[in-house]
Amino acid sequence: MIIKTVIICVRVLAFHYTFFITQQLDFFAMKYLAAFIAASLTSPALSQDIAPPSDTREISPVKSDQVERVVVTSRAINLYRNGNSSTGKLSVDPLNSTQQITTINESLIRDQGARNAKDIYRNIAGVSQFSYAGVTARGFRQEEIFFDGLRGDPYVGFNVPQLFNIERVDFLKGPAGMLYGPGAPGGLFNYVTKKPTSEFDANARIIAGSHARFGGSAEINGAINDNQNARAGVFYEQQDTYRDNSDSEVFIFDSGYTYDLQGHLLTLQYTHYSQDLGANRLRGVPVDDSGNFLTNPDWNHNEASDFLNLRSDSVQLSLEGQLSDSISYDTRLRYINNEQEQNYHEPRALIDSDGDGNIDLVGREFRDQLREQEQLSFGANFVYSGEWLGADHRTAFGIDLYKGKEDALLGAAAFQQDFVLRYLSGTSLESDIIPLTLTNPNYGITQSENYNVQFRPLSTTEQTRNGAYVLNELAWEQFTFVAGLRYDQFEDETSSAIFDDSNVSFRVGGIYKISANISLYGQWADSYEPQSVSNQQVQAGGPFEPTTGDIIEGGVNAELFDETTLLRLAVYQITRQNLLQSTGEDPEGDGIDNVAPEGEVTSDGFEVEVITDITPNWILSVAYGYNDARITADNGGGGISNSVGDRFANAPQNQFGFWTRYQIPEWDLAFAFGGNYVDDQLSLSGQNVKSYFIADASITWEVDNYSVLFRIDNLFDKEYAESGFIERTGHFPGNPRNGFVEFTFKW
């Protein structure tokens, strides 16, 4: 009864909240939305009954009996639900999982017009934007990315993953050391790539929008013969961003081939990624301690000649099938080669040039960097299914191996106070790195070819991550018990240092099914992260044990109201330990202060995710997360921002996202509205990052094989910061209001 009451309240509040927000749309947004609706309604194509598209997931058939048949089937569950996922090693549906896995499927990605990873974070309770491709998850910074369950990222640190070749995105919440080895305790992303299928599918898209946005894509997929399938796709998009000087050009070629070897499926994939980001790498915009921007958010510390370019190639081979009636397997091997080249101006000092107490000048240094990476990943996973002790018995066991190597050529023209003094006195030299004013930046004066760039010797970093695991599940009619253990060996090596160690991780969980559609779950698990190899030097007191994370979690998973509503509740506590801090002492007298693993952060929180049909044609998805991450141990020597009892940096207490979609089958139209609220937080320098709410809206028109998506992001043109970093680099501003139109044709 309590759960039912909660769901009813959520539905009522969602209705009223959505109605209220809709009434507040400003004139700009309403003008464009109204124009689009009017054009759609006056279209000759819509003035008569038209056969609907073949994809009945989106548009109901014309015949009244068919309409009734489709309408009574839950569109929310079919379109947006978190279906079976193998990211937890054992494929399970949400009702039979001892840990939370949020899945962003292709339907939701398409409906929201999502292009990159940043576009989907609102759908995941407890996740908010941090910087670049990083997020804060359950209070902790998370940057670990997996593709098809394998460690290794075709994108390099500051390049955000694109979604063109992605079938779904799984976010595994909480520590996952037993399943995947080293990683942050908040969770990890697993991007599942598109694979060839036997069903023919082809489409072409064209997109145009704000900031000179233009691009398109094409995909084709289908059977070659009875046992061979293939797919190929190409994506291109260019855009001038809202930040001064900056632009973006993205190209992806994706291909795949499968061969059915009498029940054993062989899959070969090749993907090429190209990103040219002008005037990057982007830092933030300076703010005061209250979080107010000191200039327009479109201010950029980079010159127009700066850039961040990525070229990446990924080749993946997989083989999966049945070894017997009771043993299945999947193996994957992937090789990634990428190169990232970047020129950028790094903010190094905030300057009050006239002594009036206001920052008005930013001193910079120039950096010229080239990084080349090779990554080799292998995973072999086996699942045994049978009966034991009167229960359905499954055991997953396997190994995963990873070897990464990076060669880095790092050059810089260092910041000097002399540059600033000469600039203020009007005697700047040609080789000076000219500071930028915040109110009237003087781009184009500085020329990077004149800088005195000094390059360090070529540095090589090698990383090895090898592990083996076993995960056992016993499922009776009402109770399921899960337990797993993993052993890892890891090694980090640079030209100046080497460190290796091992770790054992565990996971214990259980499920109690109250009914066929309601289950309670709980888990106890841990994670670990090796300390940075640069912090392992003996002169600083190293080597040190890895940071660790432990979680205790419980919750409810339910499918309610004739399976029209998916409800997920979670309550957790995560404790992260062994954070390095300076001792302020140098007992060896070597000029390097010692550090010690004495820091601790505790994260308490709860999360709610709901996907429901409010009416047969009205879908609502809601994700809310509350998190209280605080420093619980600190020697006061530095290494953790703030002090014991204070909130942890970049960890908002409240995060709320929703997406609602209302379709009108008679008009072949669907209207959607969504929003994302992120609470205030502290930057790494202790500056306030203000709370914000961002709203988006879209209209989709589908008829026959055609569809048109019109979308506006940041509907109210809110000025806000997504996250904070350190004081000299400022806060990362969010995008202003922007829109696009996407036309799709399907064969």
Taking 50 as the threshold, does the pLDDT of residue 29 lie above it?
no
d(CA 60, CA 572) in angstroms, rounded, equals: 41
Taking 60 as the threshold, does the pLDDT of residue 48 lie above it?
no
Q: Which residues on neighbouring strands pair with residue 664, listed in sequence order?
A: 669
d(CA 362, CA 435) in angstroms, rounded, equals: 5
Q: What is the pLDDT of residues 327-380, one digit of tens each?
A: 999 999 999 999 999 999 999 999 999 889 999 999 999 999 999 999 999 999
Least confident of 69-83, 665-679, 684-698, 706-720: 69-83
d(CA 523, CA 97) in angstroms, rounded, equals: 10
d(CA 343, CA 368) in angstroms, rounded, equals: 5
d(CA 420, CA 424) in angstroms, rounded, equals: 6
Token readout for 437 is 């004013």
Tell me the mean pLDDT in the region 184-211. 95
Q: What is the pLDDT of residues 109-159, one digit of tens each?
A: 888 888 888 888 888 999 998 876 678 999 998 888 899 999 999 987 777
744 contact partners, CB below 8 Å, separation of at least 6: 203, 204, 205, 706, 707, 708, 709
3 state DSSP class of 69: helix
d(CA 149, CA 696) in angstroms, rounded, equals: 32
pLDDT (0 to 100) of residue 609: 94
Sheet holding 127-131, edge to edge: 127-131, 134-137, 140-142
218 contact partners, CB below 8 Å, separation of at least 6: 202, 203, 204, 205, 233, 234
Tell me the mean pLDDT in the region 210-219. 96
Tell me the mean pLDDT in the region 708-714. 96
pLDDT (0 to 100) of residue 129: 87
Tell me the mean pLDDT in the region 485-513. 92
pLDDT (0 to 100) of residue 47: 33
- The band of 233, judged by pLDDT with boundaries at 50, 70 and 90, is very high
pTM for this prediction: 0.86
Tell me the mean pLDDT in the region 539-564. 88
- The band of 5, judged by pLDDT with boundaries at 50, 70 and 90, is very low
Taking 60 as the threshold, does the pLDDT of residue 13 lie above it?
no
Counting every residue written for the chain, the total comes to 747
Cβ atoms of residues 486 and 396 within 8 Å: no
In terms of pLDDT, which residue wins out, 229 or 536?
229
Alpha carbon 258 to its chain centroid, in Å, reads 28
Helices (H) and strands (E) in the chain, counts: 7, 36
Kindly state the greatest CA–CA separation across the chain: 87
Average pLDDT, the chain: 86
d(CA 717, CA 29) in angstroms, rounded, equals: 10
Taking 70 as the threshold, does the pLDDT of residue 12 lie above it?
no
H/E segment holding residue 239: strand 228-240
Tell me the mean pLDDT in the region 313-334. 96
Nearest CA to 219 out of 265, 252, 259, 248 is that of 252
3 state DSSP class of 193: strand
Q: Which amino acid is at 633?
A: A
3 state DSSP class of 44: helix
pLDDT (0 to 100) of residue 158: 74
| Sign for the pseudo-dihedral over CA of 91, 94, 99, 101 | positive
Tell me the mean pLDDT in the region 407-433. 94
Alpha carbon 533 to its chain centroid, in Å, reads 26
Alpha carbon 419 to its chain centroid, in Å, reads 39
pLDDT (0 to 100) of residue 118: 86
Taking 70 as the threshold, does the pLDDT of residue 82 lie above it?
no
Convert 564-577 to b/e letters by CB count within 10 Å (16 or more is b): bbbbbbbebebbbb
Cβ atoms of residues 468 and 179 within 8 Å: no
Taking 50 as the threshold, does the pLDDT of residue 6 lie above it?
no
